[in-house]
Structure 1
Amino acid sequence: MGIICYLLQVYLLVLLVRILLSWFPISDGGALGSLYRVLEAVTEPVLAPLRGVLPPVRLGAVALDLSPLVVFFGIQILLAFLCR
């Protein structure tokens, strides 16, 4: 179980960094653009199916994507049960 716990914690960190970087404008040609593309490639296979089931929440003119939060808390629950 140790390796699974470690991988889940690393994935949480990757997801958190992607969430934080999504708040800022990032140019495609820069180093942060490359980092964001890598993070997106790692996290999108998990987030995309959830977006199909869980539509964005409308907050006026803005739509809030809740899929990263659902994945984040889901992994936290898995860690609580698997990695005591």
Structure 2
Amino acid sequence: MSPLAFALDLLLSIFYFIVLARVVIGFIEFVVRDWSPRGFVAVICELVFSVTDPPMRFISKYVPPVRIGAVALDLSPLILLLGIVFLRFLVVAFL
């Protein structure tokens, strides 16, 4: 694997885990309604949201949430994670 492919794969892997952290934070906010991060956790949450917001907003413009009864399921994190996995595959296979 070339150094460029290694660097791209590393960046995509880090971004993958940041998106997973966003999913976990969203799940915690959904389950514990009155939870609000404080201190160092608030800084980490702000970093996670500021990094993942632009691509997730872009995907949400074109893919509406799926309605399941009274709940709307946002598919943008899933699509973003699948896109990252696909890009990692392309980087490893062709670079």
On whether the aligned pair clears a TM of 0.5, the verdict is yes
**Structure 2 residue 60 is matched with structure 1 residue 60:** no
Point out where structure 1 has 5 or more consecutive residues left out of the alignment.
none
Deviations 1:50-76 (A, max 9, x none): 101001000111110000100100110
* Aligned with residue 9 of structure 1, among 10, 13, 19: 13
Deviations 1:17-58 (A, max 9, x none): 110111113314344333211100000111101101001000
What percentage of residue pairs aligned between the two structures are identical? 31
Q: TM-score, normalised by structure 2?
A: 0.80
Taking the aligned partners of 1:83 and 1:32, their CA distance within structure 2 comes to 34
Secondary structure of 2:67's aligned partner: strand
Secondary structure of 1:50's aligned partner: helix
Following TM superposition, the consecutive aligned residue runs of length 4 or more in structure 1 with deviations greater than 6 angstroms are none
Root-mean-square deviation (CA, aligned residues, Å) is: 1.4
Bigger Rg over Cα: 2
Secondary structure of 1:83's aligned partner: helix
Amino acid at match of 1:5: D
Point out where structure 2 has 5 or more consecutive residues left out of the alignment.
30-34
Higher fraction of helix: 2
